Structure 1
C-alpha cells in the first residue's frame, strides 16, 4: 500500500512539475514569442516539421531566459540584441538559429554554448567587423553560415577551422579587401560561396583551390577587370559562376577554360565589347550564358559577336 501511495505521489509530482514547466513555456510564448510547429527544410533540402519559436521583430534586447526544450528552430530577427550570455545548449534539438538584423558587433558577445547539432546560423545584417580564429568552434556540424551584409573587414586565417561539413557560406556585401586561401582549408564540402559586393581589388591564383566540391561561385559587383588564368583551378565540380556587374573588358576565357563542368555563366553588366570565336571553347556543358548589354551611355556596349562564337555549344541559351 505504501509503495502504491509512493508511486501515486511520484506521478502526481512529475505531472505537476511538467505542468509548471509547460505553463512557464506557454507564458514565454504567449507574452513574447510564437511557439508552433512549422514546415522546415534542412540545408540538404530534406522536409521536416519543426517546433519553432518565433521571436521576430519584438524589440528584444536579449533572448528569453527559457525556451521549450523541444525547440528546433529559433527565430529572432529584427530585434536589438547586442549580446547573448545565456547558453542554449539545453536545447538538444536546436538545428537553426536566426539572429539576423540585430546589433551584434562581435561573436565574442554571442555565447550560445556548445551546439554540435546546429546546422544553420544566420547573422546577416548585423555590425560584425571581424571573424577571429576558431570563432565558430562550438558548431562543428554547421552546414549553413550567413554573415552577409555586415562590416567584415578582417577574417582570420582559421576563422572557419573545423567546419568541414559546411555547405553554404555567404560573405557578400561586406568590407573585405582580399580573399585568403587559408579560410577554405577545412571547407572541402562547401557547395555554395557568395563573396560578391566586397571591395576586393584582385582575385589571386588558386584562391579557391581547397573548395573541391564547390558548385556555385558568386563574385558580383567587385569592380574586377580580370582574373588570373589559374584562379579557378581545381574547381572540378563548379557548375555556376557569376561575374555580374564587374568591369571585365573581355571574356576571361583562360580562367574559365579551367572549369570543365560549367553550366551557367553570368557576365551581365560588364563592359565587354566583343565576343571572339574562342571565348567559350571547350565549355561543352555550358547551357546558359548571360551577356546583357550595358545601357549606360558612358560605358562601352557589346557591339560584335563572332559568327562561330557559340558553334560548339548546341544546347546553349544566350541572354543578350
Structure 2
C-alpha cells in the first residue's frame, strides 16, 4: 500500500497537475510574477517546476513563444535540459538553485539567450561544452558557486562581453580559458584562490577594459603579465598578498585610468612603484602595514585627479614631495590614518582634501588648518592634540617610520628613514665609523653635501677632491672622491627623509644617528641599529662526470642594482688557482649551471660569487663554495658491463650456431638423399637381373622366328641388337627379346 502511494505521488499526481496547470495558479500563490514578455518565479517545489515547464512547453497554447525574460530562483531545479523551449528568450535567471553541472545531452539550443545568471548554485567544473546550449551569450554570472576548475576553451562564446566568476575556488587562470572570447570587455575573478598571474591568461582577450582580481592570494606577477593589455582602463588588485608593488608589470598597462591597491600588506610606496601616464584615480585604503609615502611616490602619474589613501592605521608620514610632477589633483582623501602633520605643499596641488580621523599635533598642524581651511572638506570633523613637551611650538623630534631597529638583506637595496615632523628641519646623518653627512632636500647623491674634515668610510677609498670642483664640472662625486657617472654613481644617497643604499654590504651594519636641526636652533637625534641578514645560500653538485659538473643553489641575493652588481661562478683547481670566471644572469630563475671542460680525477672548488663594481674595482658581497672531484675517465673496458659483453658476444655466437646448424642440416640431408638414391638404384638393378633370369628359364615370353633368308648362317654365331623394350640377344639363329623390367 505504501509503495502504491509513493507511485501516485511521484508520477500520477504530477501528470494530472501538469495537464490541468495554469501559470496563473502560481501567480495567485505569489510564487510567480507574470508581466509582458516576462515570468519570474521563486521558491518552487519540484512538481511545481515540472508543471511550470509543462505549461511553457504547451504546443497548443503558444502565447509564451514571445517570452523574453524568465527567472527561476530559490527552487528545486537541477538540470538545464529540462528548460522549456522558448524561442524568443533573451534573459535567463537561474540563480540560487541546485544546479551542479552544465551538461547538455539532448543538444538543446536556445540561440537568443544573451544574459545567463547561474549565481549561487553548486557548479564545480566548467567543461569545454558547458555553454553549448547558449551559443550567443553576452553576459554570464557564475558568482558564489564551487568552481574549482575551468577547462580549456570552456567559453566558446564569440559574443561574450562580461564574465563574472567571483567568490569561487579557482587556484589559477587557465591558459586558454579566454581563447574564444575576442569581444570580452569585463572579467571579474575576485574572491578566488589565485596566486599567480601570467601573460598567457589574458592574451586572447584583446578588448578587455576592466579586470577585477581583488580578494585573491596574488603575491607577484610573472614577467610581462600585462604586456598585452594596453586597452585595460580599470584594474582592481585590492586585498591580495603583495608586499611590494609590481611596478614593472603595472607600467605595461599604459592606458590604465583607475587602479585599486587597497588591502595589500606593502609597507611603503617608493619612487617608481607606480608609473602610469594615463592614471586618473588611485585607491590605497585599508593597508594595515603601510607606514609612509616617500618623495616621488606618485611622480609617475602626472594625470592623477583623485587619490584615496584612507584607513591605514600605521601611515604616519607623507613626504611633501610625494606628489611631485602631479598638478591636476581634484581630491585627496587621507582620512583615518595616523598623521600628526600634513605638509603645506600638499594643500597647494589639490582642489579638495579630507583629513578627519588623524591624530594631528595642534602645534604643527594649526597653521595649515587656518590657511587652507577652505579646501578641507571635513574641517569640522578634524581634531588635534597639543604636545605636552612643547606646548607653544612644533617639536623637531626625528620621526622614524620603521622604528630604530632595522634588518637589511645583504646585496639588496635598503633605506633608513628619518624625517622631521616640521618638514623644514635639516637632517644630519652619522655613520657607524663617525662620518657625518647632510641630508639633501632632493634626490641628488649626498656626497656633494658631506661635511669636510671627517673620517672616511672604511669600505671606500678616500681621495682629497673637493665637491665644489665636481659641481663646476657639472658632475657628481661619490664618497670615494671619484667622478660619478651614470654607471658609476654613489652607492649611498642621503636625503632629508632617508639614507638609501643601492646595495647593502657587510660593512654597512652598525649604529646610525639621525639629527634634526630646527629653525629655532633645536637639535634632536635618534639612533638606528642596523643588522645585516646574510641568506643561507648553499651550492650543491647535481651530477658529476669526468669532464663536467652540474651544480645548483637553493637561493639568491635580492639584487636591486643590476648595473653594478654581478654574479659569477668561479672554478679553482687543487692549487687554489682560479681557472675560470663565468658570469651568470641575475634574472636566472633556475639557479643552476653546468661547468664543462674539466679534467678527470681532479679536485675543484666551485664558488658562487656576488661582486659589487665601483670605480673599476670589484668588491665581494657574498661567496659560497663547494669542493668536488671529477670521476675517472671512462675507458673502453670500464664502460663495458657484463650485460653489454653478453649482448655483443651473444649475437654473433647465436648467428654462428644458426649457420652451423643449417650447414649440418644440408650435409645430413644430402648424405641421406644420396643414400636413399643409391638404395633405390640398387633395388632397381636387382629387380632387372631377376626379371631377365626368370625369362630365360621359362621362355613364355620368348618368340622363335625361323629365318628362311639366313640358311647359310653359322649355327654357332650370335649377335646382340637393341630393342625398344630391351636388349635383343641372338643365339644360334634365334632372336630372344626381353622386356624392360621398368616397363613391366
TM-score range, shorter chain: 0.7 to 0.9
Across the aligned residues of Structure 1 and Structure 2, the Cα RMSD in angstroms comes to 2.3
Does 2:100 correspond to 1:105?
A: yes
Deviation at 1:274, TM superposition (A): 1.6
Does 2:22 correspond to 1:34?
A: no
Aligned to 1:301: 290
Does structure 1 conserve the Cα–Cα contact (< 8 Å) formed by 2:111 and 2:133? Answer: yes
Does structure 2 conserve the Cα–Cα contact (< 8 Å) formed by 1:86 and 1:111? Answer: no
Distance 2:200 2:162 in 1: 20
Does structure 1 conserve the Cα–Cα contact (< 8 Å) formed by 2:65 and 2:87? Answer: yes
Does structure 1 conserve the Cα–Cα contact (< 8 Å) formed by 2:279 and 2:304? Answer: yes
Does structure 1 conserve the Cα–Cα contact (< 8 Å) formed by 2:81 and 2:104? Answer: yes
Deviation at 1:192, TM superposition (A): 0.6
Which of the numbers 280, 286, 299 marks the counterpart of 1:287?
280
Which of the numbers 120, 124, 142 marks the counterpart of 1:129?
124
Does structure 2 conserve the Cα–Cα contact (< 8 Å) formed by 1:178 and 1:200? Answer: yes
Deviation at 1:58, TM superposition (A): 3.6
Does structure 2 conserve the Cα–Cα contact (< 8 Å) formed by 1:84 and 1:110? Answer: no
Does structure 2 conserve the Cα–Cα contact (< 8 Å) formed by 1:168 and 1:193? Answer: yes
Aligned to 1:242: 236
Does structure 2 conserve the Cα–Cα contact (< 8 Å) formed by 1:202 and 1:227? Answer: yes
Higher-RCO chain (CA-CA 8 Å, sequence separation at least 6): 1
Q: Which has the larger radius of gyration?
A: 2
The alpha-carbon distance between structure 1 residues 286 and 30, as it changes in their structure 2 partners (threshold 3 A), is same
Does structure 1 conserve the Cα–Cα contact (< 8 Å) formed by 2:69 and 2:89? Answer: yes
Does 2:51 correspond to 1:56?
A: no
Aligned to 1:218: 212
Distance 2:131 2:175 in 1: 18
Which of the numbers 265, 290, 304 marks the counterpart of 1:271?
265
SS in 1 for 2:199: coil
Aligned to 1:17: none
Distance 1:234 1:140 in 2: 27
Distance 2:232 2:306 in 1: 19
Q: Deviations over 1:5-56 (max 9, x none)?
A: xxxxxxxxxxxxxxxxxx945455445521113xxxxxxxxxxxxx210102
Does 2:59 correspond to 1:66?
A: no
Deviation at 1:211, TM superposition (A): 0.9
Does structure 1 conserve the Cα–Cα contact (< 8 Å) formed by 2:260 and 2:282? Answer: yes
Q: How does 1:148-227 map to 2 (within 5 A)?
A: 148-161=143-156, 163-227=157-221
Taking structure 2 as the reference length, what is the TM-score of the superposition?
Answer: 0.36
Taking structure 1 as the reference length, what is the TM-score of the superposition?
Answer: 0.80
The alpha-carbon distance between structure 1 residues 133 and 307, as it changes in their structure 2 partners (threshold 3 A), is closer
SS in 2 for 1:187: coil
Distance 1:272 1:184 in 2: 31
Give the length in aligned residue pairs: 279
Aligned to 2:79: 83
Does structure 2 conserve the Cα–Cα contact (< 8 Å) formed by 1:179 and 1:207? Answer: yes
Aligned to 2:5: none
Does structure 2 conserve the Cα–Cα contact (< 8 Å) formed by 1:206 and 1:233? Answer: no
Distance 1:110 1:294 in 2: 49
More helix as a share of residues: 2
The alpha-carbon distance between structure 1 residues 110 and 319, as it changes in their structure 2 partners (threshold 3 A), is farther
Does structure 2 conserve the Cα–Cα contact (< 8 Å) formed by 1:271 and 1:301? Answer: yes
Which of the numbers 89, 108, 117 marks the counterpart of 2:112?
117
Distance 2:91 2:119 in 1: 14
Gapped runs of 5+ residues in structure 1? 1-22, 38-50
Distance 1:261 1:267 in 2: 17
Does structure 1 conserve the Cα–Cα contact (< 8 Å) formed by 2:274 and 2:300? Answer: no
Aligned to 2:247: 253
Distance 1:220 1:280 in 2: 18
Deviation at 1:247, TM superposition (A): 1.2
The alpha-carbon distance between structure 1 residues 308 and 177, as it changes in their structure 2 partners (threshold 3 A), is closer
Deviation at 1:307, TM superposition (A): 4.0
SS in 2 for 1:66: helix
More strand as a share of residues: 2
Distance 1:241 1:280 in 2: 13
SS in 2 for 1:254: helix
Deviation at 1:111, TM superposition (A): 7.0
Aligned to 1:95: 90
Distance 2:227 2:70 in 1: 39
Q: Deviations over 1:196-252 (max 9, x none)?
A: 211122112332111100010011111211112311121121000001101111221
Bigger shift: 266-275 or 79-88?
A: 79-88
Distance 2:246 2:300 in 1: 19
